[in-house]
Amino acid sequence: MTQITRRALAAVPAGLASGHVLAAAKSLPTPAATSPWPDATALAASIRRGELTAAEAVETAINRAEALQGTLNCIVNSDFDRALTRARAGTPAGPFGGLPFLIKDIDDYVGLPTRFGSQAGRNAPRATTQSAFIDAFDRAGVIVIGKSATPEAAFLPTTEPLATGLTRNPWDLNRSCGGSSGGAAVAVAAGIVAASEATDSGGSIRIPASHCGLFGLKPSRGRMLGTMDETRISDIGTRHVLTRSVRDSAAFFAVNEDTGAHAQRPPVGLVSSPSKRRLRIGVLVENGLGHRPQPDVMAATDNAIKLLAGLGHHIDYTHLPFDGTQFIDDFLTLWAMGAKDFADNIGRTISRAPDHRELEPFSLGLVEMAHATSPEALGAALQRLNANALAYDTWFPAYRFDVVVSPVVSSGPPLLGEVAPGVPFETLVARLKAYVGYPPIHNIAGAPSMSIPLSWSQAGLPIGTMISARAGNERTLFELAYELEAAQPWAHRIPPTHA
């Protein structure tokens, strides 16, 4: 478990944020139910009105982090002194000026080391550069108080890295918070911060959102600032935030969306309200292996369908438009190649092949899988994945679907240890295939997808519902999310372990 300490570091200057987001924020709807904590939009507005200072907001977040870190272990590197210095200097400009915030520990933030949740990063230097996507948060006025926990190199859908220890779910301390943006989700769910940066390469925003009762949207490939070429199927990762309210996610989306002259997609802008248009909705029940989810997840999916039908949307049941079993095998091949690249980068630094001193058993197993994959087998897998992406895209017009609803994963939050990095490799791979059979589809297709916290199990655990669209259709998802948030609010639901 990482010990939180205060470090006196130089402040990072923040630029000016997009004016249209701040101006439009006044028209954003209020979340349908009251939370004990303000969401990011409300907290930033309170700071702008002078009802509290940025320093007071940051001090509160730090106090909450210090109180809960020993139990939840969601922050792996604190930046408290630098955050306080910046906050006491005055409220930064931007729509989220003064908002306490976390950056996931696979992304560089100037002045902090990036350790990737790995023992290999134990001596990582402080970053001296950061991406355009992270720059946008600074321009929006957030004040970063530290780095959030992640599994090693974001490889697993649970946050239990050997390097920093278990990150616990505030809804049940014996259960996983999901991954790989697990630390971010826990910090938001427990009330430490109102929003936190997150990434998604195979469900890493949506799975923690589902397990922690949050809203999480994965944008389209090529949508956000600093992202890769949308035409490359291997660029499966994208970045956004985890939040408690839809309006917070929509506002950050507008902050981080690429709207420049070379943007890969026509801008969406700030989505601020639901649509009156009724949608044609496909319902996908079976995962990539053709299996139905566990009963509590199936019940949550059924409840979501009843809610959508009751709101006047048209419902049709559907199936994946390609071979799901082959898809999962091919996705795992691609995942293994990412692990090999990660290991190769480490090897160049330490001048030898990394072993158990640097990498976890699961990561080493992926590397071994990658080495056993011939160039011909990799090429065939990529060819099939490209075909899957095309099949996904044509699925929507073929059946006139606007969105597709499915479970996020096949079960509620698993017990800690069930999908941990030390589980024997073949056993863990089998468990992962059964557990994470839904969200990687959208990373390959480059399509937007969101988890909405519409249900809680009889045991009191959150179960998200996933709703996905064709690439570029984030507006449809945000508009539907606003409607569902008003119809079946969740902001009042607070986990047993909280600030």
Mark residue 155 as left, alpha or beta (left: phi above 0; alpha: psi -120 to 50; beta: remaining).
Answer: alpha
Write down the residue that tokens 């987001």 correspond to. Answer: 21
SS (H, E, C) the chain: CCCCCCCCCCCCCCCCCCHHHHHHHHHCCCCCCCCCCCCHHHHHHHHHCCCCCHHHHHHHHHHHHHHHHHHHCCEEEECHHHHHHHHHCCCCCCCCCCCEEEEECCCCECCEECCCCCHHHCCCCECCCCCHHHHHHHHHCCEEEEEECCCHHHCCCCCCCCCCCCCEECCEEEEECCCCCHHHHHHHHCCCCCEEEEEECCCCCHHHHHHHCCEEEECCCCCECCCCCCCCCCCCCEEEEEECCHHHHHHHHHHHECCCCCCCCCCCCCCCCCCCCCCEEEEECCCCCCCCCCHHHHHHHHHHHHHHHHCCCEEEEECCCCCHHHHHHHHHHHHHHHHHHHHHHHHHHHCCCCCCCCCCHHHHHHHHHHHCCCHHHHHHHHHHHHHHHHHHHHHHHHHCCCEEEEECCCCCCCECCCCCCCCCHHHHHHHHHHHCCCCHHHHHHCCCEEEEEEEECCCCCEEEEEEECCCCCHHHHHHHHHHHHHHCCCCCCCCCCCC
Residue 402 half-sphere exposure toward CB, CA atoms < 13 A? 16
CA dihedral sign, ordered 492, 41, 214, 315: positive
Tell me whether residue 204 is one of the annotated catalytic residues. Answer: yes
Write down the residue that tokens 């992406």 correspond to. Answer: 389
Distances, alpha carbon 468 to alpha carbons 160, 417, 449, in Å = 28, 30, 4
- The one catalytic residue among 18, 78, 204, 245: 204
- The one catalytic residue among 104, 147, 218, 433: 104
Tell me whether residue 351 is one of the annotated catalytic residues. Answer: no
Tell me whether residue 451 is one of the annotated catalytic residues. Answer: no
- The one catalytic residue among 180, 272, 410, 411: 180
Q: Which strands make up the sheet holding 100-104, listed edge to edge?
A: 75-78, 143-148, 100-104
- Under 8 Å CB-to-CB from 245, ≥6 apart: which residues? 31, 39, 40, 41, 215, 485, 491
Residue 465 and residue 209 in contact, taking contact as beta carbons nearer than 8 Å:
no
**CA 200: distance to chain centroid?**
5
Catalytic residues: 104, 180, 204
